[in-house]
Amino acid sequence: MTAAQCRTKIVATLGPSSSDHATILALATAGADVFRFNFSHGTQAEHAARYRIVRQVEAEVGRPLGVLADMQGPKLRVGHFADGHITLETGAPFRLDLDETPGTTKRVQLPHPEIIAAAHPGSVLLLDDGKLRLKVTTVGRDFLETEVQVGGPLSDHKGVNVPDLMLPIPALTPRDRENLAFALELGADFIALSFIQKAEDVLEARELVKGRAWIVSKLEKPQAMENLDAILAASDAVMVARGDLGVELPPEAVPLAQKRITRAARKLGKPVIVATQMLESMITAPTPTRAEASDVATAVFDGADAVMLSAESAAGAYPREAVTVMNRILERVEADAGWRALMQAARLEPEHHVADAIAGAAQLVANTLDASTIVAYTHAGPTALRIARERPIAAILGLTPTLTTARRLTLVWGVHPCVPDPAHHAHDTESMVSTAVETGRTSGLARAGDTMVIIAGVPFGVSGSTNTLRVAKVPDSV
């Protein structure tokens, strides 16, 4: 039995704990809408095998499932040490340079000349996910002298974060470009870009993707927050990647950044995913902490389109339980009268064009008539996105002629994507209504006697022409 589909979508990462057919089917049945393939780990062959299983499961559960291919992005790391590890003492000097000689307690290789070129006295470098902190005291042609502000153990190839520097490095490494081409060939619906700093990083990827997938920009650097509006405009969706964002921003700044991103994305009608450590304790435990449950609920109250599981479903001991618990939290919040009132109070003013006016009117009509469903006919997705931006109480049925669009809509708040039978293709107003009613009934979103609000574009089949609103009553028999 498939879990009820919530308005807030669930993204589940696949990995060693969730690579077989039975587990992936269990995750979809428990409520997962989109499966994330993390290209920082695993081989292309492993990802291809998982992709084939997801498509098999999609046919079995009878609803579209999205696939998100997450590119690793540029990883900054120190070199290696003669003994494999050292301990940095707080207050001690420590040198970072381009020399490949194994490191000591005095120095180590930093194989990233772009960091040295961009740094200045006072710049901060964070090592090993922020556990260690260095402050630059002197900048040389091929080295940085630093003072250890927070010491501790440091081992080979640990990561380096530079929160206050804009680095002249591309968002896509050669490995990313290879994986990007592979993911598109597989048929990925979304491409996630890591460590985006500016809109140009997104536009560079868009040239490569050429419309074959939606681009999801991961916001995990302070520079991205400074360029948020431009990045949002260039992206199809965004992810609040709280892991690295929490390394480079003070912890107290992350919740405000999450809310700011969510508000800005919703204003533009761009889906937003809240990710990282949502149910972290479920990597090793069958139930989450109460704080984690509250964290997921907060994202739902903020109006996020999706919440994401990372290691919980990819490498944890309880992948199905993690999706099940997350789905239960979403269901409980979305049944709350306070949540419904908040969604209505936060409704945005429609933009000044016909399609947005129609979407706003559909939400008002649905509320007035207590409609069970708003049906959005959409070719490439914009009509469904506009309705989702309104955050209506009525269910949203996204009818599209293409499976590609249906899979992309799996990430969008409240949308139940569906590809109608070609025999029922809408070619006039009468067939538009009958197809909407029939699909609403067969999907379980509408029952006899229910009111449905239908929006579409005339002439039919022309993308971006939403200009029609109809109200229909579901008859006792069709």
User: Which of 388, 289, 389 is closest to 329 using CA atoms?
Assistant: 289
Q: How far apart are CA 181 and CA 335, in angstroms?
A: 42
Using alpha carbons, list the distances in angstroms from residue 67 to 83, 162, 220, 412: 42, 31, 21, 13
Catalytic member of 63, 77, 259, 267? 77
Half-sphere exposure for 396 (CA within 13 Å, toward CB): 33
Between 404 and 356, whose confidence is greater? Answer: 404
pLDDT at 422: 75
Residue 236 has pLDDT above 80, yes or no: yes
Candidates 8, 146, 276, 451; catalytic one: 276
Active site residue 36: yes
- Which of 36, 107, 391, 407 is flagged as catalytic? 36
Q: Which of 9, 50, 107, 218 is catalytic?
A: 218
Q: Kindly report, residue by residue over 326-376, the tens digit of the pLDDT.
A: 999 999 999 999 998 988 887 777 777 888 889 899 999 999 999 999 999
- 410 noted as active-site residue: no
Quick check: is 218 catalytic?
yes
- Those residues whose C-beta lies under 8 Å from the C-beta of residue 330, and which sit 6 or more positions away, are 6, 7, 8, 10, 31, 296, 300, 307
Q: How much is the pTM?
A: 0.93
Give all domains of the chain, ordered by start, each with its CATH number. Answer: 9-74+171-333 (3.20.20.60), 85-161 (2.40.33.10), 347-473 (3.40.1380.20)
- Indicate if 408 belongs to the active site: no
Percent residues over pLDDT 70 in the chain:
96
**pLDDT, averaged across the chain:** 93
Pairing of strands 306-309, 373-377: unpaired
Residue 83's pLDDT is 93
For 115-158, what is each residue's pLDDT tens digit?
A: 999 999 999 999 998 999 999 999 999 999 999 999 999 999 99
The pLDDT tens digits of the residues spanning 237-288 come to 999 999 888 888 988 999 999 999 999 999 999 999 999 999 999 999 999 9
Query: What pLDDT score does 343 carry?
Result: 86
Distance (Å, whole) CA 84 – CA 102:
9
CA dihedral 381, 382, 384, 388 (to 10 degrees): 130
Question: What confidence tier does 1 reach under pLDDT thresholds 50, 70, 90?
Answer: very low
